[in-house]
Structure 1
Amino acid sequence: MKKLIYSIAFLGLAFNTYAQKIKFDKTKSKQEFIDYVMKQMTIDDKVGQMVQYTYDGGDVTGSAIDKNYIKYTKQGMMGSVFNATTTDITRKLQKIAVEETRLGIPLIFGYDVVHGYETIFPIPLGEAASWDLKAIEKSARVAATETAAGGVHWTFAPMVDIGFDPRWGRVSEGAGEDTFLGSKIAVARVNGFQGKNLYDLNTVLACTKHFAGYALAQAGRDYNSVEISDRFLRDYILPPFKATVDAGAGSFMTSFNEIGGVPSTASKYLYDDILRKEWNFKGFVVTDYTAIQELIPHGVAKDLEEATLKSVDAGIEMDMMSGAFLNHLAKLVKDGKVKEEVINTAVRRILEAKYDLGLFEDPYRYSDAKREKETVMKKEFLDDARDVARKSMILLKNQNQVLPLKENQKIAYIGPLVKDEKNIIGNWAARGDRYGKAWSVWEGLNDVLGKNAKITYAQGTDLNSTNTNGFQEAINIAKNSDVIVAVMGENENQTGEAASQTNIDLPGNQKELLKELKKLGKPIVLVLMAGRPMTISWEQENMDAILYTWYPGTMGGLAISDVLYGKYNPSGKTPMTFPRSVGQIPIHYNQKNTGRPYLGDADAEQKYKSRYTDSPNSPLYPFGYGLSYTNFDYSNLKLNKTSLKNGTDEIKITVDVKNTGNFDGEEVVQLYVRDLVGSVTRPVRELKGFDKVMIKKGETKSVSFTLTPEDLKFHDINMKYVAEAGDFEIYVGGNSNATLKSSFVLVD
């Protein structure tokens, strides 16, 4: 009998040690196949699927770098690699996982494809400035197509953090300050990345990040703590995340910050209560870089084992770079501190993503060198990037219609970014080529203008320099011009992760050069490249025109030239409020009224109001602001009813918009609502609709919106999500300061 027992035990051990490699069976349903795979997995195999490390040489955003990814892959101890790109590299790594491990479970490759893979589009904040959801979705679709062709299955995007603080460098990666606009853009990007079916070879798995509140870091300092109410979290911050769940996003990423003393990566409230139970999210959750390890300096875990326990208990399913799961998770299961069913659930979700991507059927289907060569940076993708870049640019000022420029004018192009290719594609630019394939402004001008170009150039200064040696050359060039175009801004690495700043003025001595050029008395057009709203009060007062181009991407130089010379009429609108100074930050349009509201000039003599004594309360440029080469007139605002019944009722709102200028142009028509009285205080305005419409010169278009009680919901005094009966005002116009006004009543 003992011999029989030992024989059975030996056979069981042999099965676990020498089990045949996984073979795809198309006759099985997804659930049946995943069941079949998991039955052959040991606890160590399962934990391995929950481990992720970076490919050596990839971008890293922390200090913990473990270069043993090859070893872990061969041992079946790692289910995912990030920063491994190109079909050559991904095929080699996949070959190890599939052919040299016991079960042969394929790897999933992830990468930060934030605004393009090799064809780089404008930074996400720039794309948001387009207010063009179709263009934004197209950008993500192109990025997904190139990424998939490059052997990568998964992008760590979109970032949907709502941010009010331009000191925080990562505002460049988001959609700005507004929950409504941010939610629409989040869905567009998920749809662009994931397409209609993840199995298609031009799609990648999306990853919604950073859950949650990361952009509200105190003092705008990256990785800092966040202190907000649950009502603020739910009404302002969470809706874009929820929108991506409803859109089918396949994964979520944790944020580095804490809220209420609990770091995100240990927050059962965020990941179990809200994400899983309230929202019924079906994908898997990955940490940000070393986030589990960081629970120790946060002060909520004494060591990595305790950090592992807290993160798993919160609902975290993949560990990026901490080594926490690799070294401690199996032991925690064997010690009975973590239930194996928790591991099973996590692993099932990860395996389902691999299944949906077709990796079990063909682990190498994304690693096709021929398709990679034929796909990356195709002409049509470059054309798309040029178009989106033009749409993203905001005309902030245009005194005396100095723009568009005329081809017969003599133009002096001056500044450190005229011939720049490095910075023009911005931060987090994936595999974008900074030194050859990106179009500089100078190259774009010569291409757009051809032999007719009457342009001269002087650099004048560097981006962050105090050296004035080049000033005189710039002044001499400018003296012989009709118009000066100064192309200036930030270095690309002054925004993005770990790039918070207390001073967001034009860096170096660029402003000093502008002051010298101003003395010449010639019209000056300032073209700015930046990853955040900058404090440019002096520039607004002293420049004749300001074109804000963000970092426009690979085709940026061509797109800027198109706009400057009127080949494209700018239509961008600010997705974030521009402060007059850092002393106003955080500043956003949908703030509260307070008990002592300051009404501007009407209250000029009133000291005891919510105001500054040394500055207007108003921003330099409000949310939703942007000029055109033409003008738009709003009139005839109508509501089809003035009473809206709570439930399924709706109000139709129409407004006439006339192009009264000399150019055809697009206008972003915006609808704002104010809830006058609530059980809790309400914002002075909230965006509830927008429509980007092309209107020919002299033409009038009627634009309509539909408003329902669902649009009016918020978390009331009892934290119930409701639309409260009462009086509402609506405003329609070209920015958040719209004055065309009407009203209605919501009744129960």
Structure 2
Amino acid sequence: MRYGILLLGLAFLGCARPDFRDSSLPSEQRAELLLQELTLEEKISLMMDVSKPVERLGIKPYNWWNEALHGVARAGLATVFPQSIGMAASFNDSLVYEVFTAVSDEARAKNVYYASKGSYERYQGLTMWTPNVNIYRDPRWGRGIETYGEDPYLTTCMGVNVVKGLQGVNDGKYDKLHACAKHFAVHSGPEWNRHSFDVEDLPLRDLYETYLPAFKALVQDADVKEVMCAYNRFEGEPCCGNKRLLTQILREEWGFDGIILSDCWAINDFFEEKGHRTHKDAPSAASAAVLSGTDLECGSTYESLIEAAKKGMIDEKAIDRSVKKLLKARFDLGEMDDPSKVSWTKIPFSVVASATHDSLALKMARESMTLLLNKQNVLPLKRGNLTVAVMGPNAKDSVMMWGNYNGVPAHTVTVLDGIRAALGKGDKLIYEQGCPCVGDDLLESVFSECKSEGRPGFSARYWNNVNHEGKVDVETRVMTPFNFCTSGATVFAPGVNLTDFSATYNATYVPKASGEVIFDVYSFGKGRLLVNQKEAMSFYNSHGGNKQSYALQVEAGKKYDIELQFEYLQGDAQLNFDMGFKKKVDIAQSVNAVRNADVVVFVGGISPSLEGEEMGVDLPGFKKGDRTSIELPEVQRNLLAALHRAGKKVILVNCSGSPVGLVPETETCEAILQAWYPGQQGGRAVADVLFGDYNPAGRLPVTFYRSIEQLPDFEDYNMTGRTYRFMKERPLFPFGYGLSYTTFTYGAATFSKQTVGSEDNLSLVVPVSNTGSRDGEEVVQVYLSKVGDEAGPVKTLRAFKRVSVPAGKTVNVHITLSKKDLEWWNEGTHSIQFCPGEYQVWIGGSSDEKALSKYAIQLK
């Protein structure tokens, strides 16, 4: 039978005892009633991300795992907004709320569609495992791109609005979605040892002042429904079995009564050889996790709870406590009820990748653009008989623009596309890639010349077995060079297994030119490449990824049938594939190719294929998704230097999710625009800034250091010397920094009072004048420091407001510092509270003291 609640007639329910099927009952009561109907085995089957059906009760399957980092992710078509770190650069938390309201609309609409087809797979549910509110303490961390930066206050503001946008307002009965704060807690790399690393000897002040504030706010101010515990250990105990974090702080201190879930397969790390080895086996690990407060496992180790319960390692009442929370959440979402009774199911599918959301993606991309350098006001560019050369590895890379944990947009505007569309009458464009992101091999891809069934791209067929057997489980199309990897639990395509799957990709290639085409395959798995039905190359890589290539002499106009087969082996599967004419980077030739350009726009930086979550990348400057060097890769530095020597005006558009040490580029480039990973409309947003159709106002949510010499040891979680809050040296570009095409000056701020009591708020009025010739936006930033607190932050952000100021006008910006905003660390009580003393309020346009005015206040 079809899964679904067995809706019983009112006659049956009339005088009978209460029934969990009765949607008029409170969800908590319904959860308790259903709990009483379940066997121990059934309860445990509901405690994993793949929640199994209970057919005898009409309980359908549910998959708890869905993603929405910057748009509905990993489930096909969706609007792709800028990467989280880029959204943080907007310093516009109200716009973040708008974005995630749109994301939640798309998530609900997609869920309704999947459910109507009887599909309950991963990335189709209503529980979104976002936001990531870990503090980006070190620019080498690959997953920093998922965060909202290095500052606890900014992270808090952004994270709260993500949660409120995703979860929406209860319609009177049902929740729209459930969000999840992750990864709790004290978790920010390195990626390579996250399954065994222990954060030891962390000062209590750093814990409460830096690593916990955003989580606390999401729990207490945003009512986040889920919290995900982290992979690493904290003070000797794995985070997903950590009594101090989960029981003492999260449950008892903060009063969190929602669901705690594990990061994926984190419970395995308790006992596996390459993990923490704090527990002897799966039953003891699973029991410890549940008893510490982890209700839901992403993974399958909780299956061993049956054995643990039978051996007396865990009482069934402890299991009941967790299962009841899970059932209540499903009732709260209306997931157990007739969809027609749930108002959120009325959101039409037409909202998915809609024109309205596309416009919102453009707005957010524009607001994220952060201008770092603009010598002699070379920007904005002036149209009219202008020859622009577009160069660099990221100029026409649409996949780079999507970031990670992403969906697939209906259309992506690359930077090359955006610049081409922005040119005026008489303007000319030259495109010359020049170099890849890393290394000196340049592949002139012919992937775009491949078609299947008369349409661009490769057809893709997937089987949820390793032998290509039986009915095809998923059919889709691959439009860009392959970049598949299951690291971070990313499936190759929606509906495809994470493990134990196989795939076949087909296309026809008709060369436009004769020559030697190179087929590059980087894989962790096995398979083969066929050309015209004959095997050209096979590969079998069971101990990590490996690259193989095949060379084929092709004739222009001749047809070549290409087939690539792949089978999962073990661990994290990976398949990268592209084909093209390969040549070595020739810097002199590339410089000569742009000799007639008036200006060179070099779109460089790095890529989500290089930085991210526990990746299989080991290249110069990169290790498992982290970075070992923060400078631009050498090949890009060399090409930029050669362009500079040739007398070219170079505009660097830097695409990255992390700070880049751009010291040489401040000499070789006339302007630097930090574009992040800007989403589906990023190319237009970049062009709008370059040509002055939009005045940039993005600000850095992270410090841009000069080099790793300014950084403490990556594995040291102590905040001493880290981020703008504790750094003594001068960075390249400070937190909160960003340029505009106009200029702003600040008048003297007025305060509602100079002496503030423990129950008072402090109101400020800051006059901001636009002294330039065009309208612009300024981000007013308010920092706080405590006089005499040598161990505390140099200064720390406590308020910000992005405001529009017309040219030649002055706007009075009203800001209120609440009682909470004025709290400080009390060394005597080891807590954050109202602490009497002398303080300084810093107001200006960045964290750099030269950009700030200082005011004294007294707390009594």
Q: Which TM-score tier does this pair reach, normalised by the shorter chain? A: 0.7 to 0.9
2:608 aligns with one of 485, 489, 492? 492
The partner residue of 2:216 within 234, 242, 248 is 242
> Offset of 1:105 from its aligned partner?
4.4
Secondary structure of 1:673's aligned partner: strand
2:160 pairs with 1:183 = no
Aligned to 1:698: 808
Match of 1:304 in 2: 282
Alpha-carbon distance between aligned partners in 1 of 2:252 and 2:293, rounded to the nearest angstrom = 11
The within-5 A match list for 1:107-126 is: 107-117=62-72, 118-126=78-86
In structure 2, distance between residues paired with 1:134 and 1:388: 11
CA distance in 2 between partners of 1:253 and 1:364 (Å):
31
Pairwise CA distance, 1:580: 0.3
Q: Counterpart in 1 of 2:186?
A: 213
- Distance change in 2, residues 1:398/1:292 (3 Å): same
Partner of 1:314: 292
Match of 1:583 among 709, 730, 748: 709
Counterpart Cα distance in 2 of 1:652 and 1:40: 56
Give the Cα separation in 2 of the matches to 1:590 and 1:52: 39
CA distance in 2, matches of 1:271, 1:292: 14
Report the equivalent of 2:474.
none
Distance 1:531 1:134, change over 3 A: same
Residue-by-residue CA offset, 1:43-100 (whole Å, 9 max, x unaligned): 11111110124xxxxxxxxxxxxxxxxxxxxxxxx35xxxxxxxxxxxxxxxxx37x4
Q: What is the CA–CA distance in structure 2 between the aligned matches of 1:199 and 1:212, rounded to whole Å?
A: 33
- Pairwise CA distance, 1:223: 6.7
Distance 2:193 2:824 in 1: 27
CA contact (8 A) 1:106 1:363 kept: no
CA distance in 2, matches of 1:378, 1:630: 34
How many residues get paired?
A: 657
Give the aligned residue type for 2:283: E
Classify 1:142/1:650 alpha carbon distance in 2 versus 1 (closer, same or farther; 3 Å).
closer
CA offset at residue 102 of structure 1? 4.6
**For 1:307, what is the secondary structure of its paired residue?**
helix
Rate the CA distance shift 1:127–1:689 in 2: closer, same or farther, 3 A: same
TM (normalized to structure 1)?
0.83
User: Which amino acid in 2 is paired with 1:529?
Assistant: C
1:632-651 equivalent positions in 2, closer than 5 A: 632-645=744-757, 647-651=758-762
What are structure 2's unaligned runs of at least 5 residues? 1-16, 73-77, 112-124, 442-583, 615-624, 713-720
2:395 matched to 1:418? yes
For the residues of structure 1 that align with 2:35 and 2:174, how far apart are their CA atoms? 26
Task: Provide closer, same or farther for how the CA distance between residues 629 and 267 of structure 1 changes in structure 2, counting only shifts above 3 A.
Answer: same
Does the aligned pair in 2 maintain the 1:187–1:243 contact within 8 Å?
A: yes
Aligned pairs (5 A) from 1:628-667: 628-645=740-757, 647-667=758-778
Q: Which residue of 2 aligns with 1:272?
A: 247
| Distance (Å, rounded) in 2 between the aligned partners of 1:453 and 1:198 | 54
Please state whether the residue corresponding to 2:399 is helix, strand or coil: coil
- 1: distance between equivalents of 2:342 and 2:431? 45
Alpha-carbon distance change, 203 to 448 in structure 1, aligned in 2, over 3 angstroms = farther
Q: Deviations over 1:106-140 (max 9, x none)?
A: 51442222111221111101100100011111221
CA positional deviation for 1:371: 6.6
Cα gap change, 1:278 to 1:159, in 2 (>3 Å): same
How much has 1:226 moved relative to structure 2?
2.3
CA 1:372 to 1:27, structure 2 compared with 1: closer, same or farther past 3 Å? Answer: closer
- Do the aligned partners of 1:150 and 1:372 also contact (CA within 8 Å) in 2? no
The residue type paired with residue 746 of structure 1 is: L
Matched to 1:33, the amino acid is R
For residues 223 and 386 of structure 1, the distance between their equivalents in structure 2, rounded to whole angstroms, comes to 41
Code of the residue aligned with 2:783 in structure 1: it is Y
Contact 1:113 1:143 in 2 (8 A): yes
SS in structure 2 opposite 1:349? helix
Q: Which residue of 2 aligns with 1:458?
A: 432
Deviations 1:177-201 (A, max 9, x none): 1111111111000011101127899
> Could you tell me which amino acid in structure 1 is paired with residue 773 of structure 2?
N
For 1:305, the aligned partner's letter is P
Post-superposition offset of 1:363: 6.3
Deviation at 1:437, TM superposition (A): 2.3
Note if 1:724 corresponds to 2:829. Answer: no
User: Residues 503-514 of structure 1: matches in 2 within 5 Å?
Assistant: 503-514=629-640
After superposition, residues 534-573 of structure 1 pair within 5 angstroms as: 534-573=660-699
Asked if the contact 1:592/1:684 (under 8 Å) is kept, the reply is: yes
- State whether structure 2 residue 469 is matched by structure 1 residue 343: no
Task: Tell me the residue number matched to 2:854.
Answer: 741
Map of 2:556 onto structure 1: none
| Equivalent residue letter for 2:413 | W
Distance 1:711 1:180, change over 3 A: same
Give the TM-score normalised by structure 2: 0.73
The equivalent of 1:282 in structure 2 is 257
Q: In 2, Cα distance between the equivalents of 1:585 and 1:319?
A: 35
* Preserved CA contact (<8 Å) 1:210 1:253: yes
Name which of 308, 330, 338 aligns with 2:306. Answer: 330
C-alpha change, 1:369 and 1:34, in structure 2 (3 Å) is closer
Q: 1:263 aligns with which of 226, 233, 238?
A: 238
Asked whether the equivalents of residues 168 and 222 of structure 1 are also in contact (C-alpha less than 8 Å), the reply is no
Q: Would the alpha carbon gap of residues 721 and 107 (structure 1) be closer, same or farther in structure 2, given more than 3 Å must change?
A: same
Q: Secondary structure at the match of 1:390?
A: helix
> Once the 2 structures are TM-superposed, how far is the Cα of residue 289 of structure 1 from its aligned partner?
0.9
Counterpart Cα distance in 1 of 2:207 and 2:771: 42
Aligned CA distance change for structure 1 residues 548 and 200 (closer, same or farther; 3 Å): farther
Is residue 208–residue 832 contact of structure 2 (8 Å, CA) maintained in 1? no
1:476-497 CA deviation, whole Å, 9 max, x = no partner?
Answer: 3422111111111112122221
Q: More helix per residue: 1 or 2?
A: 1
C-alpha deviation, 1:356, in angstroms: 1.1
Shift in CA distance, 27/649, structure 1 to aligned 2, threshold 3 Å: closer
In the alignment, the residues of structure 1 paired with residue 164 and residue 312 of structure 2 have an alpha-carbon distance, to the nearest angstrom, of 41
The separation in 1 between residues aligned to 2:316 and 2:294, in whole angstroms, is 14
| 2:116 paired with 1:137 | no
Corresponding position of 1:73: none
Q: How does 1:323-402 map to 2 (within 5 A)?
A: 323-326=300-303, 328-362=304-338, 373-402=349-378
2:796 is matched with which residue? Answer: 686
> Is residue 655–residue 676 contact of structure 2 (8 Å, CA) maintained in 1?
yes
**Secondary structure at the residue paired with 2:326?**
helix
Q: Look up the match of 2:817.
A: 707
Percent of aligned pairs sharing the same letter = 34
The one-letter code matched in structure 1 to 2:606 is E
Cα pair 2:108 2:347 within 8 Å, conserved: no
Question: 2:597: which partner in 1?
Answer: 481
Question: Which sits farther off after the overlay, 481-490 or 358-367?
Answer: 358-367
- C-alpha separation in 2, matches of 1:150 and 1:443: 29
Q: Which residue among 585, 591, 609 is the counterpart of 1:469?
A: 585
Structure 1 residues 167 and 531: CA distance shift in structure 2, 3 A: same
Q: Deviation at 1:723? A: 2.2
Shift of 1:342: 1.5
SS of 2:627's equivalent?
coil
SS at match of 2:749: strand
1:24 is matched with: 21
Q: Is the 8 A contact 1:114 1:428 kept in 2?
A: yes
Could you list the runs of 5+ residues in structure 1 that have no partner in the other structure? 1-19, 54-77, 80-96, 599-616
* Equivalent residues in 2 for 1:129-208, closer than 5 Å: 129-151=89-111, 152-197=125-170, 203-208=176-181
Please identify runs of 4+ aligned residues in structure 1 that moved more than 6 A: 20-23, 198-202, 218-223, 363-372
CA distance in 2, matches of 1:412, 1:463: 18
The answer (yes or no) to whether the contact 1:145–1:202 under 8 Å persists in 2 is: no
Rounded to whole Å, the distance in 1 between the matches of 2:166 and 2:697 is: 25
Given that residues 121 and 388 in structure 1 are in contact (C-alpha distance below 8 angstroms), is that contact kept between their aligned partners in structure 2?
yes
Mapped to 1, the partners of 2:269 and 2:18 lie a distance apart of: 36
RMSD: 2.6
1:30 positional shift: 2.0
Give 1:233 deviation, angstroms: 0.7
State the partner residue of 1:91.
none
Shift in Å at residue 624 of structure 1? 0.5
Instruction: Tell me, yes or no, if the aligned pair for 1:676 and 1:682 is still in contact at 8 Å.
Output: no
